[in-house]
């Protein structure tokens, strides 16, 4: 599975740790920044890069990190075909996948400990979509 990974300056350290963890598990990780040395970065710029990679099919899923995860999710959801979920726990991540077929995960580095963030990423990447009654609801989202 190929994962688009991006952050702003607030999520840089978590992005590096998550990327290393995913690579150690055999995932293909496409790191879309923010580059080292950038003191302040606009999260929409980096969310858009990752969201477009997922929407185009270049990547299977995306993981975005900023201070709260909210801005990244809002920006990513502007891209047609992206269903980004800002998750603060493993159950939220599992349900975002099972019920909403979320394809992008947003995390807040200022709200989550790194161990929890890693567990949320694992839950998100290892959970499938239930389909069935959820498919009809998903079709409504896709308009």
Active site amino acids: 66, 99
Structure tokens at 73: 């999710």
Q: Could you tell me the CA-to-CA distances from 50 to 70, 97, 103 in Å, in that order?
A: 15, 18, 11
Contacts of 22 (CB under 8 A, 6+ apart): 3, 5, 29, 63, 121, 125
């Amino acid at each position: 599975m190929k994962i688009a990974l991006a952050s702003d300056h607030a999520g840089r350290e978590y992005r590096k740790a998550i990327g290393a963890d995913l690579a150690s598990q055999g995932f293909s990780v496409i790191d879309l920044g923010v580059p080292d040395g950038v003191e302040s970065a606009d999260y929409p710029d980096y969310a858009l890069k990752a969201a477009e990679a997922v929407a185009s099919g270049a990547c299977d899923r995306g993981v975005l990190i900023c201070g709260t995860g909210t801005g990244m999710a809002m920006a990513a959801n502007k891209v047609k075909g992206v269903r980004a979920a800002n998750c603060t726990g493993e159950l939220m991540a599992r349900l975002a996948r099972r019920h909403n077929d979320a394809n992008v995960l947003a995390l807040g580095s200022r709200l989550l400990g790194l161990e929890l963030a890693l567990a949320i990423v694992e839950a998100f990447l290892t959970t499938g979509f239930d389909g069935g009654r959820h498919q009809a609801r998903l079709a409504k989202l896709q308009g």
